[in-house]
Amino acid sequence: MFLPEIENPKYVKVLIVDDDKKIREILEEFLKREGYNVFSASDGKEALYQIHKISPDVALIDYLLPEIDGISLCKLIKNNPDTIDIGVILITGLNDLEVKINGLSAGADDLLTKPFFLPELKARIKSLAKIKKYRDFLKNYQQILEEEVEKKTRELQKTYLELQETYQEIKELSLEIVFRLAKAAEYRDEHTGAHIQRVSYYSAKIAETIGLSSEEIELIKYGAPLHDIGKLGIPDNILLKPGSLTQKEWEIMKMHTLIGANILAGSKIKYLNVAEEIALYHHEKWDGTGYPKGLKGENIPLFPRIVAIADVFDALTTDRPYRKAIEFNIAIEIIKNKAGTHFDPEIVQAFLKIKDELIEIKNLLKDEEIPHLFALHKKLSPN
């Protein structure tokens, strides 16, 4: 029950205990008219039975009762922890001073002297009922609070799980879009999306091995697939030329780094900023002989330094129109020999440590069969 309901008589149970049938009927009728829930008993025994059955809020007890007198009944009520909070009004005769003193000593909460006015009775019942209801409320308060906290916690947990699910869905969707966008660029000269996926997962694995945070690993995983997005801006006669490129054509081909960065520039999304950086610098070389800017060593941002290894490694281990794939171990040797010239030597060290994982990724992402992207994402990122 909530506090506003405390004074409403319809929630108050009153027990009348009197052996005089007529008095019981008068009181019953009056209190019912006032809206109370009224019960009655004609002696102490019946009163005890009713008390345990209905748990009244207020008991109106006549002093003179057969078998168990009013004082004894009052004591029984007040000495029992289950019934101690019932408001007891003891009805005494006019000159029963000793009875009055004994009644108060027995724990009666109020005394009413015969004859009494019904409005006075009503006022006293109202006041005792209010106290009783407050006590009940306080007793239940702790429980109510605990239930409320538990309920809110459950609701919060549910919302949290829903948010996590939505976040996960958005993340998967983003990855899907990134792969598809990158595939569009790659399709013109690669015809499958497997290269960009392998570069993505190789890069993430290397990032993990050199100790980058899980957020950074995600960024490189999402950013790496777009490294050659700038190929969209390279004319077919250069991009798809079967023979070697002229110097002029090669200069145009190199433009794919700048075009890619341009396509991705100005985004508010973090992994697209990383993708922009990777697109721009993935052909830079550790010794400064790369393009487009000829940056050297640690002047080349970290993510493109990682992707550069993953990209070259995948190109070496994949069939190309002009040559067959190089054997895995030989490709690893080539990368190793380019540490300090083409590649960051520390990242090469990390790369060499994860040979087995790289083979696993390669076997999962073969050119001829591209697994469903969601299934793949889940397989490679179980968490």
**Site residues (CB under 5 A) for Fe ion?**
228, 311
335, 343 in Cβ contact below 8 A?
A: yes
What is the spatial distance between Cα 111 and Cα 271, in angstroms, rounded to a whole number?
80
Choice between 60 and 312, CB closer to Fe ion: 312
Helix (H, G, I), strand (E, B) or coil at 127: helix
Shortest distance in whole angstroms from residue 195 CB to Fe ion: 6
> Helix (H, G, I), strand (E, B), or coil: what is residue 15?
strand
Q: Write the Ramachandran bin of 356: left for phi over 0, alpha for psi from -120 to 50, otherwise beta.
A: alpha
Please say which residue, 85 or 228, places its beta carbon nearer to Fe ion.
228
**In 3-state terms, what secondary structure has residue 128?**
helix
| Peptide bond connecting 242 to the previous residue in cis, omega within 30 degrees of 0 | no
Residues 6 or more apart whose Cβ sits within 8 Å of residue 301 = 277, 281
**Residue 47 or 361: which CB sits closer to Fe ion?**
361
Q: For 284, list phi and psi in degrees, rounded to 5.
A: -70, 155
CB nearer Fe ion, residue 96 or residue 228: 228
* Nearer residue to Fe ion within complex by CB, 65 or 261: 261
- In the complex, minimum distance from the CB of residue 221 to Fe ion, in angstroms, rounded to a whole number: 15
Q: What is the dihedral of CA 90, 92, 96, 100, to 10 degrees?
A: 10
Smallest distance from Fe ion to CB 283, Å = 6
Q: What is the distance between the alpha carbons of residues 189 and 321, in angstroms, rounded to a whole number?
A: 10
Least Å distance, CB 150 to Fe ion, is: 54
Q: What is the arrangement of strands in the sheet containing 37-41, beginning at the earlier edge strand?
A: 37-41, 13-17, 58-62, 87-92, 110-113
Instruction: Tell me how long the chain is.
Output: 383
**In terms of CB distance, is 57 or 228 closer to Fe ion?**
228
**Contact 63/19 with Cβ under 8 angstroms?**
no
Torsion of CA 110, 113, 119, 124, to 10 degrees: 0
Residue closer to Fe ion (CB basis): 57 or 311:
311
**Residue number, 276 or 311, with CB nearest to Fe ion:** 311
CB of 263 to Fe ion, least distance (A): 13
Q: List C-alpha distances in Å: 150 to 142, 160, 298.
A: 12, 15, 53
The residue among 105, 49, 50, 99 whose CA lies nearest residue 75 is 105
- Closest to Fe ion by CB, 124 or 231: 231
